[in-house]
Each structure stands twice: as structure tokens, then as C-alpha cells.
Amino acid sequence: MGFFTELKRRNVIRVGIAYVVGAWLLAQVADLVLDVIGAPDVVLRSLVALLALGLAPALIFAWVFEMTPEGVKLESEVDRGQSITAQTGKKLNWVTILMLVAAVAFVAVDRYWHERSTEVAPATAEETPAEVIGAAQSAGSLAAAPADATSIAVLPFANRSNQDDDLFFTDGIHDDLLTQLAKIHELTVISRTSVMEYRDTRKNLREIGAELNVGTILEGGIQRVGDRVRINAQLIDVASDKHLWAETFDRELTAENIFDIQSEIARKIVHAIAVELSPEEERQLSEVPTTNLVAYESYLRARDLFYVANYARSRETAALPWLEKAIALDPDYTDAYALLADIHGQTYWRGIDTSEAFLAKYRDTIDRALELNPDSPRALRASANYHYRVENDYRKSLALIQQALQSAPGDVDLRGDLALNQRRLGLWQDSIASFRKALSLDPANRFYQALLVETMVSVNDWQGILDSTLPLEDAAPDDLDIQLDRAFAQFNLTGDLRPLERVFERMAPTDSTNYILLSARVHWLQRDPDAAIAVLNNSIWTESEPSQVFQNNRDYELANAYRLKGDMETARMHFERVIARRDEVMNSSLQTQCYSGMTVALSLARLGRFDEALELGEQLLREIPADKDAMLWGWLFTYQAMIKGLTGDLEAAIDDLEIALETPTAFRITVWDLYYDPNWDFMRDNPRFVELATPPTVIRTATP
């Protein structure tokens, strides 16, 4: 008798099938019950593991033992002529069938119940959205309140031309439609960064709606063939999966027709969800930015290239020729001038060109945009950025942003700029709230996520940073820059540098601000100057285009690392390099003066030129007072304290440090910084400094 035949005779196969079906059904029921009683996940995982481990013993039992009228006996003790394995097999078949029926019924009931529980009931006239939210919270629900139809996501349009070179055109029209919808006050429109993640997605609309917390989704496609363009769009209610509106526009390919279709789609959406347009919104929707199709396409190419990545110099140089072409074709193109001003702003901000001649060109570009359309949100934003970056007049910049928001309340970049100005003015909590509003419009925008966390660093909200960011194990590779802030928060809560080390182990060298500031610093705080020097000499720095701020910061950090090694000759060389840039630094932007100017002052102090160091530090503090720039002042104050300490005035230095520890600012100093940082070693014999620089969790007699 063959082995397989014997398995069948002893019912081993039937027992295996029955066991698997029964175990699956038991796991499903247990999942439901444990979820209701709030049992931890480990209970279900343990049960599943036990059921999996039990399969082998069940099969062995079926092979070794046999059911008889007298009970369970060893198979070897049962006479084949009296065996009842055939009858037992039939019983197992029935048991298996019954369990399968129960499993199918369970799945059907569970699916029906889940669908009923996730349906969104429309609010009555007496029940406002706020009341719905309140009811959900009072019931202990952790789920977000259902989104209504006025919250909308416009998914990336399909490029039906089947020409890769037409993608910029498709995406450009998509962007312009988002801009149009962002002008309507009663709509909440998810911004570009977040919706672009759903290009070619396999997720259904309910999943997308839940992830973006929207009630309606617009999807469509664009095809251009010769001198014609066809745009189809459909508006879908997420909860019911029903079409609220759908239409196809087939027109001659002209700039006027493109903008007319965009405006018509916006009006159709508004009508479908029963929202009224104000006269001003009607006027804005009717605006035609340019009547020159080639100028429009050139502008779209420039915008596509400029928004490739944050702070990449190549994006500016690639976009510039297309913008110049657009303006040459249409000298009255407001949006093209506004985008050109954005490029000029980045060029100045990065220190590429800060000359008076360049600034005059920058101002002329903005003036032309405002002359053409004084109410243009993009032109107003360009002007605000000039006051922010060049004039450092954050009140004027804030006023212009608020004016632009009146016309484009759903513009995520205006919300982000609002937050940036607020924190410069010391309105820290307002800034955090504005960043959160920006992220509600663009939840996948990592740039604003990083800025929010950076602002929370400024106010010492370390626990808030941990609560609002993912653990390293769950973070996406692109989130590692944010992970540095999370690890820095863990350091300031516990003094533990290992989280920072773990992030750097997974992070490739990059020219991001966080990497520059923290990659060498983690080794410095561990008193490992050789490792810090190795990081600062990484080829990423020499192969990129280092800014003036970075060059000074790198030389200053190298000088301190060599000083800690005892190599004073090399340290002096790097300090002298920093000092040699003094005139260039002090004729640059206020931001450059702050960060590079103070490294010059500190370098002077380290070389014993105390009067010059104190004078330069005081000059910077006069020119950048707290009420002018709250982001910079506290940072300056901290390092002026170090200069005073190096001159021997320890009591004045500690007075300043006490204020600095309580002052919100960019890159603020903390107790753990003072405790670990070798730069403060010259003060560690002072009992008052030891008291100030010892965290509560450290025994007072301990040394770093």
C-alpha cells in the first residue's frame, strides 16, 4: 500500500483540511471578539502562532491514532477488519463542510457590517459639521469626521496624447485648475504635492478620499491632437461613488479656450455641490492670463522645471530660458513675471548673486507684475518674498501675504509663507497653527512638515515633535531629514545621542540644512574630532555649490575639531579663513550676516582678538534685535554669551545663557547642548555654569 493511499485511509489529509479551515474560522472570530473587548494585538498574534504550531501535532496524531467504538487507540493496535476510518472520514467531511459554510457566512456578515458602518449619513439642516464632529468625539471615536462635498481632491489628469513630451502640458493645466479652485472661499482643495502621489494609482476612490479626507474627487484626462484639445472631467462623490457631474470639452487649441475650459470646470464643480460664487470669485475665474499659446506653453515648461525639487540650483537655471521666452512672446504676462521673481528670490537667498544690479532687476520684475495686476495673488506673494528675503521687513511681508489670501484662501504656499513670517515676528503658536493649516491642504508636503517640526524645535516642544512624526522604522526614505529633528528631540528629552546616530547610518550625505548642522555635531558632542573632520571633508561639500554661510560654518567647525585634537596650527588656519571673509559677509543679506557674521566673531575670540569679537557681536545684536527677527536674535545672543565667556567675563556670559535657554529661536541651545558641547569646557569650573548646564536627570557631581 502506497504512502499517499495510507494517508487517505488514516484520514490524515481530511484532518489537515478540517484543521486549517477550523483554525482560520477561529482566528476570524477571535479577531472580531478581541477587537470589541480592546485586547492588545499581541493576543491575536499569539493565538495565530499557536494555531499554526498546532497543525503538525494534529497530523501526527491522525497518523498514529485511530478512532474506534471503544475510544482512541494506537493505529497499530487496531484490526484492519474492524477499522471504522471510512465512517470517521465521512464525519470529518461533514464537519469541514459545515465550517466552510460558517466561514462564508461570517465573511458575508462582516463585509456587510463594515460597509454599513463606514457609510456617511448626510447632515440634516439642524446638524452642522461642527456638531457632527462633536458627536463623534463624545462617542469616543478616534476616526476623523466625514468630509463634506466642499472638500475636493483633483487627481492628476491622464495624458491621453500618449506623448511623453505632452506631460508638462497636462500637468500644467491640472496645476492651473487647482489654482482656480483655491480662489473659491467655500472650497477646501488638496494641493498639488499630495494629489500627485496618486498618479497611476491602483487605489479606489474611497481609499483616496479617506487618505486625503475629502468628500469629492475630480478626475479626468487631456488629449491634444494637432490644433485641437479634448479635456474630459468627472466629479465623484466619495461616500456613494456616484457621479455628481461629468463632461467632455472638445475645442480648438488656443490659450483662451484652455482658460475658458478651466473656468467652466470650476463653475460646474461649484454648481454640483451647491456652492455660490461671489462676484469677485466670478471675476477671477473669468481672467485670461495670456492669449499667446506658445507663451503659455513656455510658462508651463518653466514651472514644471522649477518645481522639480526644493533648493536645487539646477531647477532655476533650467527654468529661466523658458520664462524669458514666455515674457518675450507676451510682455503683459503677469504670472510669468511672478515666477521669474521667485527665481530671482532664490538666487538672492542662496547667495548666488546679491549685487545691487541684480536686486534692481529683481525689484523691476516684481514692479512689472504688480503694474499688470495689482490684485494677483502670485504677484503679491512675489512682492512679499522680496520684503522677506531682501528687506527683512516681515510685517510688510505678512500684510502682503494676508492680502493675497483674501483672493486665494486655499493656496498652500501662501499659508506656508504666512507661517514663515509669523515665526520671524515671534508669533510662534500662530506659526505652528498656520503650518498645520498648510498641511491640511497638502498633507504629503514634506517641506512644510519639516518646517513645522523645525518651528516646534524653536519652542522646545520636544514631546510634540515625537507625537507628530513617525518612528524611524516606519518612516519613508524621503523623511530622513525630518527624522533628524525627531532624533534631536529625543536627545533633548533624554540626552541619548544614539537615535541621531541611527538616522545618519541610514541617511546618504546630502546638502540639506539639517545634515550640514547635525552630521558633524553628533561626533562633536561625543568628543570624537576625527569623525567630525571626516564628515566635514566628505566630497559632497566640495562637489556641491557651497553657500557663503556653509563655507564659514564648515571652516569654523573644522577649526574647533582640530582645536579639540590639540592641533592648534591647523585650527588657526581655519579660524583665519573664516575671519578673511568678514567684509564679504557683512555686505551680504541679513541672514548671511547673522550665521556667518557670528562665526567670524567667535573665530576672532578663539584667536584672542577679544575687542574685535565683542564689537562685532554687539553690532550684529543691534542690527538684528528680537523685535526685528525672532528667529535669529536668540541664536546670536547665545554665541555672544560664548564670546563674553572667552574674554573672561563669565558672570555676564551666564546671565546671557539663562536668557538664551528661555528664548525661542532657530537652532536654540538646550541644557543638553551645554552639558555635552566641548566649546563650553572653559566654563566648567564655574559652579553657576555647572548648575545651569546640568540636566535634571544627571547627578550634579557628574561631568560630561
The verdict on domain 509-692 having CATH code 2.60.40 is: no
The pLDDT value given to residue 34: 58
Task: Work out the average pLDDT over 588-597.
Answer: 82
239-242 LR contacts (CB < 8 Å, sep 24+)? 239/119, 239/120, 239/146, 239/206, 239/209, 239/215, 241/205, 241/206
**Calpha distance 536→534 (Å, rounded):** 6
Side-chain-side CA neighbours of 145 within 13 Å: the count stands at 17
Give the long-range contacts of residues 424-428, CB within 8 A, separation 24 or more. 424/388, 424/394, 424/629, 424/630, 424/631, 425/394, 425/395, 425/398, 425/630, 426/626, 426/627, 426/630, 426/664, 428/455, 428/458, 428/459, 428/630, 428/664
Assign 140 a pLDDT band (cuts: 50, 70, 90). very low
pLDDT tens-digit profile of 411-427?
999 999 999 999 999 99
| pLDDT-derived band at 133, boundaries 50, 70, 90 | very low
DSSP class of 151: E
| 151-288 CATH | 3.40.50.10610
Q: Between 575 and 542, where is the model more confident?
A: 575
Phi/psi for 322 (5° steps) reads -70, -40
Q: What is the pLDDT of residues 603-659, one digit of tens each?
A: 999 999 999 999 999 999 998 888 888 988 888 889 899 999 999 999 999 999 999
- The whole-number pLDDT of residue 652 equals 96
Domains 294-408 and 509-692 share a fold: yes
**Tell me, what's the pLDDT at 268?**
92
Q: What percent of the chain has pLDDT over 90?
A: 55
Predicted local confidence at residue 43, as pLDDT? 62
User: Residues 507-525: pLDDT tens digits?
Assistant: 887 766 667 668 888 999 9
pLDDT band at 14 (very low <50, low <70, confident <90, very high): confident
Diameter of the chain measured on Cα atoms: 111
Domain layout of the chain by residue ranges: 3-118, 151-288, 294-408, 509-692
pLDDT at residue 119 tops 50: no
Q: What is the pLDDT of residue 36?
A: 47
Percentage of the chain beyond pLDDT 70 is 85
CB 385 within 8 A of CB 397: yes
Q: Comparing 693 with 109, which gets the higher pLDDT? A: 693
pTM of the model: 0.74
Residues in the chain: 704
Fold assignment, 294-408: 1.25.40
Mean pLDDT score, 7-25? 76
Q: Does residue 86 surpass a pLDDT of 50?
A: yes
**Using CA atoms, how far apart are residues 300 and 77, in angstroms rounded to an integer?**
86
CA angle 603, 608, 610 (to 5 degrees): 85
Average pLDDT of the segment spanning 423-438: 96
Take residue 598 and report the three cell numbers written for it: 557670528
More confident residue, 235 or 100: 235
The half-sphere exposure of 162 on its side-chain side, counting CA atoms within 13 A, is 1
